[in-house]
């Protein structure tokens, strides 16, 4: 009899422990911890990605990331990452996505995924005033020097198409601009808005050649790990919604109003 009672007691205790475990598991499932959305960007590209005097992230891409986080119900953390480290960080899972004015290219799509495009742009030229350069063909001449940022689409374009000129490759956008301002380079290839911004800061020494010279415009997208299919679908949904409800127009009004006026005057398609 004692043996039977002992077996019954052990069985009852086991059932009680199992029930408690299941109850705890159910509670965890019903109340999941709020997941952080880690967004990588290089805070060196105003007015899209930059920092204020206190070091806080600011700009179009920062507003974009925060709006996306609100839509997804996730807290956003901005990881300031050097341009060359963005894609490696994405592939290794250190960040969830990249919002850093990144152009969608076939080469990049081999290792990462992109959302649908949220902006379009074309390459433009920041030329030194004394260079006598008025178009891309005049820049592609023997003796001309072209500054490009390493790994940028301007770097890729110049390498493929401007074989007569000397290509000067630098790690930083500011260095490329300084080369032109000081007359060490005849031109700098980068996206239209950056060229416009730097011209506005150096009107005495530079000119901005904003009209597109590429056959097709470039498109920017949010970059994601190839494994994160669900997040990609959610980002696509947000971009469609943000374009339809005026969210992107608000970004432009807040950060890009002067540039948009210039683009409209020159009849050049704007980013959003």
pLDDT, one tens digit per residue, over 74-126 is 999 999 999 999 999 999 999 999 999 999 999 999 999 999 999 998 999 99
Residue of 259 and 146 predicted with greater confidence: 146
**Is there a shared CATH topology between the 37-120+219-265 domain and the 123-209 domain?**
yes
- Provide the mean pLDDT of the chain: 88
Q: Tell me what pLDDT residue 215 has.
A: 84
**What are the sequence ranges of the domains in the chain?**
1-29, 37-120+219-265, 123-209
Residue of 152 and 17 predicted with greater confidence: 152
Instruction: Please classify residue 237 by burial: count the beta carbons closer than 10 Å to its beta carbon, then call 0-12 exposed, 13-18 middle and 19+ buried.
Output: middle
206 CA to centre of own chain: 27
- CATH number listed for the domain at residues 123-209: 3.40.190.10
| Nearest C-alpha neighbor of 201 from the set 170, 171, 172, 180 | 180
Q: Tell me what pLDDT residue 12 has.
A: 45
pLDDT digit string, tens, across residues 2-11: 444 444 444 4
Residues in the chain, how many? 272
Q: How far is residue 68's CA from residue 240's CA, in Å, rounded to a whole number? A: 12
pLDDT beyond 50 at 155: yes
For 37-120+219-265, which CATH superfamily applies? Periplasmic binding protein-like II (3.40.190.10)
pLDDT digit string, tens, across residues 35-83: 999 999 999 988 899 999 999 999 999 999 999 999 999 999 999 999 9
pLDDT band at residue 21, thresholds of 50, 70 and 90? low
């Amino acid at each position: 009899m004692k043996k039977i009672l002992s077996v019954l007691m052990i069985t009852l205790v086991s059932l009680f422990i199992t029930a408690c475990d299941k109850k705890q598991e159910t509670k965890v499932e019903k109340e999941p911890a709020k997941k952080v959305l880690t967004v990588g960007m290089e805070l060196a590209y105003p007015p899209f990605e930059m920092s204020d005097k206190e070091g806080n992230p600011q700009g179009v891409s920062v507003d974009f990331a925060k709006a996306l986080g609100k839509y997804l119900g996730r807290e956003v953390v901005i990881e300031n990452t050097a341009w060359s480290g963005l894609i490696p960080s994405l592939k290794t899972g250190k960040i969830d996505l990249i919002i850093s004015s990144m152009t969608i290219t076939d080469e990049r799509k081999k290792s990462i995924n992109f959302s649908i495009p949220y902006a379009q742009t074309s390459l433009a030229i920041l030329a030194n005033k004394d260079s006598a350069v008025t178009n891309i063909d005049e820049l592609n001449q023997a003796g001309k020097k072209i500054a490009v940022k390493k790994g940028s689409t301007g770097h890729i374009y110049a390498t493929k198409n401007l074989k007569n000129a000397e290509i000067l490759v630098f790690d930083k956008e500011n260095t490329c601009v300084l080369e032109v301002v000081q007359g060490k380079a005849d031109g700098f290839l980068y996206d239209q808005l950056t060229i416009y911004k730097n011209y506005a800061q150096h009107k005495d020494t530079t000119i901005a050649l904003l009209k597109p010279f590429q056959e097709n415009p470039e498109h920017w997208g949010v970059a994601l790990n190839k494994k994160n299919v669900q997040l990609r679908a959610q980002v696509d949904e947000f971009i469609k919604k943000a374009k339809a409800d005026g969210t992107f127009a608000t970004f432009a009004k807040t950060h890009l109003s002067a540039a948009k006026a210039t683009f409209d005057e020159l009849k050049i398609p704007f980013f959003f």
